[in-house]
Chain A
Amino acid sequence: MRSGDLILQTMSKVVFFIIILFSIHLFFEGHYRPGGGFVGGLMTSGAIILLLLAYDIKTVKKIIPFDFKWLIAVGLFISVVTAGGSLLFNVPFFTHVHDYFNIPLLGKTSLHTAALFDLGVFFVVVGVTLTIIQTIGESE
């Protein structure tokens, strides 16, 4: 395959940020509207796959310089800590709490520990998808 299509590379630079922003948007509105960690993670990995298509694997490794298998581990760790942390407060496993906080710029915001669990799902989905794609792509 001929690489180095200037139109595709320039456009993917612009479109990458739109997709990433939209995936973060999907991730954060998952509690009240359709969205959440799974779709957000898939869309983030879709944005990175777009970079993989426009450039080659070495360039993307230079842009994102860590192993995606670590993302799976970090995501699982976050999820387990979120779920197991409830045991420290003498409530059943997986009990979530939420409360309202006054954040300087955002005003009164409800923060929920389910968002942390969703962050773990997000990391695992990104890690698994990109590991699969990279493993298939690198094998000659």
Chain B
Amino acid sequence: MTGILEFVVLAFILIGAFFSLVAAIGVVRLPDVYTRNHAASKSATLGVMFILIGTFLYFAAEGHTNTRLILAIVFIFLTSPVGGHLINRAAYYTGVNMWDQSVRDDLREKVGYGKRKSPEDTGGKIS
């Protein structure tokens, strides 16, 4: 494997590692469950997909077309956001409070029950 494809594979894997690092930093730095999950489910998905595409191209250039990698890319693209959605949903319905500076909570009017307190009720404290 020579030439421009090496750089393409390198770029894919480095971008993927970068997005995974951004996801990890986001999980550490962001204030509450919902924003952390936002970072983890979006950025980590994209990072892993980039790394898998890079791996696929690397082995495809050597003559092994690994269809499992394509399947894994599709699978992660389908399932990881659903996992994030389910974690967020479970957190919301078990009463995890939002960040104290968040301003809107439209789902609260729709659902109308639960132990959750909105940011106005708690005076801006995360319990």
Residues of A participating in the B interface, judged by any CB pair closer than 8 Å = 2, 5, 7-8, 11, 14-15, 18, 22, 25
Contacts and interface: CB of A to CB of B under 8 A. Distances in A.
Interface in B74-96: 74-75, 78-79, 82, 85-86, 89, 93
B75 A15 contact: yes
A2 B79 CA distance: 20
B71 interface: yes
Contact of B79 (A5, A11, A22, A25): A11
Given A15-B78, A15-B79, A8 B86 contact: yes
A81 B80 CA distance: 43
Contacts of B78: 11, 14-15, 18
Interface residues of B, number: 11
Contacts of A2: 93
Interface of A is mostly: helix
A11 to B, nearest CB: 5
A18 B77 CA distance: 13
B52 to A, nearest CB: 15
A11 B77 CA distance: 11
Interface in B45-80: 68, 71, 74-75, 78-79
A12 B43 CA distance: 22
A77 to B, nearest CB: 32
Contacts of B86: 5, 8
Contacts of A22: 68, 71
Contacts of A11: 78-79, 82
B113 to A, nearest CB: 12
Given A2-B93, A5-B89, A18 B75 contact: yes
B71 A8 contact: no
A11 B81 CA distance: 10
- Nearest first, the 7 A-B pairs at minimum CB distance are A11-B82, A7-B85, A18-B75, A15-B79, A15-B78, A7-B82, A8-B86
B77 to A, nearest CB: 11
